Chain A
Amino acid sequence: RKEVEQDPGPFNVPEGATVAFNCTYSNSASQSFFWYRQDCRKEPKLLMSVYSSGNEDGRFTAQLNRASQYISLLIRDSKLSDSATYLCVVNRGGGGSNYKLTFGKGTLLTVNP
Protein backbone atom coordinates (compact mmCIF):
# COMPACT_ATOMS: atom_id res chain seq x y z
CA ARG A 1 0.00 0.00 0.00
CA LYS A 2 1.34 3.43 -0.92
CA GLU A 3 2.16 5.70 2.01
CA VAL A 4 -0.08 8.47 0.74
CA GLU A 5 -2.60 7.69 -1.94
CA GLN A 6 -4.80 10.19 -3.76
CA ASP A 7 -7.47 10.16 -6.42
CA PRO A 8 -5.49 9.87 -9.64
CA GLY A 9 -7.57 12.48 -11.50
CA PRO A 10 -7.43 14.59 -13.51
CA PHE A 11 -10.53 16.55 -12.59
CA ASN A 12 -12.06 18.93 -15.11
CA VAL A 13 -14.85 21.07 -13.70
CA PRO A 14 -16.69 24.23 -14.73
CA GLU A 15 -16.30 27.45 -12.79
CA GLY A 16 -18.54 27.48 -9.76
CA ALA A 17 -18.50 23.72 -9.29
CA THR A 18 -17.78 21.97 -6.03
CA VAL A 19 -14.94 19.48 -6.17
CA ALA A 20 -13.74 16.97 -3.59
CA PHE A 21 -10.34 15.38 -3.22
CA ASN A 22 -9.74 12.21 -1.23
CA CYS A 23 -6.58 10.85 0.28
CA THR A 24 -5.61 7.89 2.44
CA TYR A 25 -2.39 7.31 4.33
CA SER A 26 -0.87 4.10 5.60
CA ASN A 27 1.23 5.10 8.61
CA SER A 28 -0.99 5.37 11.67
CA ALA A 29 1.83 7.13 13.54
CA SER A 30 1.61 10.13 11.23
CA GLN A 31 1.52 13.32 13.21
CA SER A 32 0.19 16.13 11.07
CA PHE A 33 -1.58 16.54 7.79
CA PHE A 34 -1.72 19.14 5.06
CA TRP A 35 -3.02 20.03 1.66
CA TYR A 36 -0.56 21.76 -0.63
CA ARG A 37 -1.12 23.07 -4.11
CA GLN A 38 1.47 22.97 -6.83
CA ASP A 39 1.28 24.95 -10.03
CA CYS A 40 3.01 23.52 -13.08
CA ARG A 41 6.77 23.29 -12.51
CA LYS A 42 6.58 25.40 -9.35
CA GLU A 43 7.20 24.71 -5.69
CA PRO A 44 4.53 23.22 -3.42
CA LYS A 45 2.67 25.88 -1.45
CA LEU A 46 0.76 25.22 1.73
CA LEU A 47 -2.97 25.49 1.20
CA MET A 48 -4.08 24.46 4.66
CA SER A 49 -3.32 22.23 7.58
CA VAL A 50 -5.88 19.54 8.37
CA TYR A 51 -7.22 18.92 11.86
CA SER A 52 -9.37 16.15 13.30
CA SER A 53 -12.09 18.65 14.09
CA GLY A 54 -12.20 19.73 10.46
CA ASN A 55 -11.28 23.18 9.36
CA GLU A 56 -12.44 25.71 6.85
CA ASP A 57 -10.72 28.57 5.09
CA GLY A 58 -13.07 30.48 2.84
CA ARG A 59 -14.12 28.17 0.02
CA PHE A 60 -11.85 25.37 1.23
CA THR A 61 -12.81 22.74 3.81
CA ALA A 62 -10.49 19.99 5.02
CA GLN A 63 -11.37 16.94 7.06
CA LEU A 64 -9.29 14.29 8.79
CA ASN A 65 -10.46 10.90 10.00
CA ARG A 66 -7.63 9.31 11.96
CA ALA A 67 -9.51 6.07 12.55
CA SER A 68 -9.86 5.38 8.85
CA GLN A 69 -6.64 7.26 7.95
CA TYR A 70 -8.51 9.41 5.48
CA ILE A 71 -8.12 13.06 4.54
CA SER A 72 -10.35 15.15 2.31
CA LEU A 73 -10.43 18.58 0.72
CA LEU A 74 -13.55 20.26 -0.58
CA ILE A 75 -13.41 23.31 -2.82
CA ARG A 76 -16.67 25.18 -3.24
CA ASP A 77 -17.47 27.70 -5.98
CA SER A 78 -14.28 26.84 -7.85
CA LYS A 79 -12.42 29.60 -9.67
CA LEU A 80 -10.16 29.50 -12.70
CA SER A 81 -7.28 30.30 -10.37
CA ASP A 82 -7.91 27.07 -8.45
CA SER A 83 -6.47 25.13 -11.40
CA ALA A 84 -3.41 23.34 -10.01
CA THR A 85 -2.25 19.99 -8.69
CA TYR A 86 -3.47 19.34 -5.15
CA LEU A 87 -1.08 17.41 -2.97
CA CYS A 88 -2.07 15.44 0.09
CA VAL A 89 0.83 15.59 2.52
CA VAL A 90 1.46 13.69 5.72
CA ASN A 91 4.14 14.45 8.27
CA ARG A 92 5.65 11.35 9.78
CA GLY A 93 7.76 13.49 12.04
CA GLY A 94 11.48 13.12 11.86
CA GLY A 95 13.95 12.58 14.61
CA GLY A 96 13.34 15.31 17.11
CA SER A 97 11.09 18.02 15.89
CA ASN A 98 11.80 17.99 12.17
CA TYR A 99 9.32 17.78 9.39
CA LYS A 100 9.54 14.62 7.30
CA LEU A 101 6.79 15.12 4.79
CA THR A 102 5.43 12.34 2.65
CA PHE A 103 3.64 13.61 -0.41
CA GLY A 104 0.94 12.00 -2.46
CA LYS A 105 1.36 12.07 -6.19
CA GLY A 106 -1.25 14.78 -6.48
CA THR A 107 -4.51 15.29 -8.28
CA LEU A 108 -4.63 17.73 -11.16
CA LEU A 109 -7.60 20.08 -11.18
CA THR A 110 -8.55 22.15 -14.19
CA VAL A 111 -11.35 24.66 -13.77
CA ASN A 112 -12.88 25.64 -17.08
CA PRO A 113 -14.66 28.90 -17.93
Chain B
Amino acid sequence: QMQLQESGPGLVKPSETLSLSCDVSGDSINNLWWSWIRQPAGKGLEWIGRIYGGGITNYNPSLKSRLTMSVDTSKNQFSLRLSSVSAADTAIYYCARGRTFITVDGSPGDFFDYWGQGALVTVSS
Protein backbone atom coordinates (compact mmCIF):
# COMPACT_ATOMS: atom_id res chain seq x y z
CA GLN B 1 0.00 0.00 0.00
CA MET B 2 1.37 3.33 -1.08
CA GLN B 3 2.24 5.67 1.80
CA LEU B 4 4.12 8.94 2.14
CA GLN B 5 5.21 10.47 5.43
CA GLU B 6 6.69 13.92 5.94
CA SER B 7 9.14 14.62 8.75
CA GLY B 8 11.14 17.59 9.97
CA PRO B 9 11.20 20.44 12.48
CA GLY B 10 7.86 22.07 13.15
CA LEU B 11 9.40 25.41 14.08
CA VAL B 12 11.98 27.36 12.08
CA LYS B 13 13.37 30.81 12.85
CA PRO B 14 13.08 33.63 10.33
CA SER B 15 15.98 33.80 7.83
CA GLU B 16 16.92 30.18 8.54
CA THR B 17 16.41 27.10 6.35
CA LEU B 18 13.34 24.88 6.40
CA SER B 19 14.14 21.20 5.86
CA LEU B 20 11.66 18.39 5.34
CA SER B 21 11.90 14.79 4.22
CA CYS B 22 9.30 12.48 2.75
CA ASP B 23 9.59 8.74 3.32
CA VAL B 24 7.96 6.66 0.61
CA SER B 25 6.71 3.12 1.16
CA GLY B 26 4.79 0.80 -1.10
CA ASP B 27 6.51 1.99 -4.28
CA SER B 28 10.00 2.66 -5.53
CA ILE B 29 11.02 6.29 -5.75
CA ASN B 30 12.81 5.54 -9.01
CA ASN B 31 11.24 6.39 -12.37
CA LEU B 32 8.54 8.63 -10.86
CA TRP B 33 8.07 12.31 -10.15
CA TRP B 34 7.54 13.48 -6.56
CA SER B 35 6.23 16.87 -5.55
CA TRP B 36 6.00 19.21 -2.59
CA ILE B 37 2.83 21.27 -2.12
CA ARG B 38 2.04 23.69 0.70
CA GLN B 39 -1.06 25.19 2.23
CA PRO B 40 -1.11 28.13 4.63
CA ALA B 41 -3.73 27.80 7.35
CA GLY B 42 -7.20 28.36 5.97
CA LYS B 43 -5.90 29.01 2.45
CA GLY B 44 -5.42 27.23 -0.84
CA LEU B 45 -2.75 24.96 -2.27
CA GLU B 46 0.56 26.05 -3.81
CA TRP B 47 2.79 23.72 -5.81
CA ILE B 48 6.39 24.14 -4.67
CA GLY B 49 8.29 21.89 -7.04
CA ARG B 50 9.03 18.31 -8.05
CA ILE B 51 11.91 15.90 -8.34
CA TYR B 52 12.39 12.80 -10.44
CA GLY B 53 13.82 9.64 -8.91
CA GLY B 54 16.96 10.25 -10.96
CA GLY B 55 17.35 13.72 -9.44
CA ILE B 56 15.98 16.06 -12.15
CA THR B 57 14.07 18.96 -10.63
CA ASN B 58 11.44 21.51 -11.64
CA TYR B 59 10.74 24.39 -9.28
CA ASN B 60 8.02 26.97 -8.93
CA PRO B 61 9.70 30.17 -10.24
CA SER B 62 8.38 32.12 -7.26
CA LEU B 63 10.46 29.95 -4.89
CA LYS B 64 13.28 28.83 -7.16
CA SER B 65 15.99 31.09 -5.74
CA ARG B 66 15.49 29.66 -2.23
CA LEU B 67 14.64 26.05 -3.05
CA THR B 68 16.62 22.83 -3.21
CA MET B 69 15.16 19.37 -3.61
CA SER B 70 17.07 16.12 -3.41
CA VAL B 71 16.42 12.40 -3.53
CA ASP B 72 17.99 9.48 -1.67
CA THR B 73 17.10 6.30 -3.53
CA SER B 74 18.81 4.11 -0.92
CA LYS B 75 16.32 5.34 1.67
CA ASN B 76 13.43 5.70 -0.79
CA GLN B 77 13.14 9.27 0.41
CA PHE B 78 13.12 12.77 -1.06
CA SER B 79 13.74 16.09 0.64
CA LEU B 80 13.03 19.80 0.54
CA ARG B 81 15.17 22.70 1.69
CA LEU B 82 13.81 26.24 1.61
CA SER B 83 16.24 28.95 2.66
CA SER B 84 15.77 32.45 4.08
CA VAL B 85 12.29 31.69 5.37
CA SER B 86 9.84 34.27 6.64
CA ALA B 87 6.40 34.16 8.24
CA ALA B 88 4.94 33.87 4.74
CA ASP B 89 6.42 30.36 4.54
CA THR B 90 4.36 29.15 7.49
CA ALA B 91 2.14 26.38 6.13
CA ILE B 92 1.31 22.71 6.07
CA TYR B 93 3.77 21.07 3.70
CA TYR B 94 2.61 17.99 1.79
CA CYS B 95 4.64 15.54 -0.24
CA ALA B 96 2.82 13.79 -3.06
CA ARG B 97 3.36 11.26 -5.83
CA GLY B 98 2.97 12.56 -9.34
CA ARG B 99 1.15 10.64 -12.06
CA THR B 100 2.73 11.90 -15.24
CA PHE B 101 0.92 12.37 -18.52
CA ILE B 102 2.36 13.90 -21.67
CA THR B 103 0.69 17.00 -23.11
CA VAL B 104 -0.04 17.50 -26.79
CA ASP B 105 3.09 19.68 -26.84
CA GLY B 106 5.16 16.75 -25.61
CA SER B 107 5.71 18.13 -22.12
CA PRO B 108 5.12 16.12 -18.95
CA GLY B 109 2.35 17.10 -16.57
CA ASP B 110 1.58 15.68 -13.14
CA PHE B 111 -1.47 15.31 -11.01
CA PHE B 112 -1.16 13.88 -7.52
CA ASP B 113 -2.67 10.53 -6.61
CA TYR B 114 -1.06 9.89 -3.22
CA TRP B 115 -0.35 12.48 -0.55
CA GLY B 116 1.35 12.49 2.81
CA GLN B 117 -0.65 13.57 5.83
CA GLY B 118 1.17 16.90 5.88
CA ALA B 119 3.67 18.57 8.20
CA LEU B 120 2.95 21.91 9.83
CA VAL B 121 5.94 24.23 9.71
CA THR B 122 5.77 27.50 11.60
CA VAL B 123 8.29 30.26 10.98
CA SER B 124 8.69 32.27 14.15
CA SER B 125 11.42 33.54 16.44
Indicate whether A and B interact.
no
B positions within 8 Å CB-CB of A: none
A residues whose Cβ falls under 8 Å from a Cβ of B: none
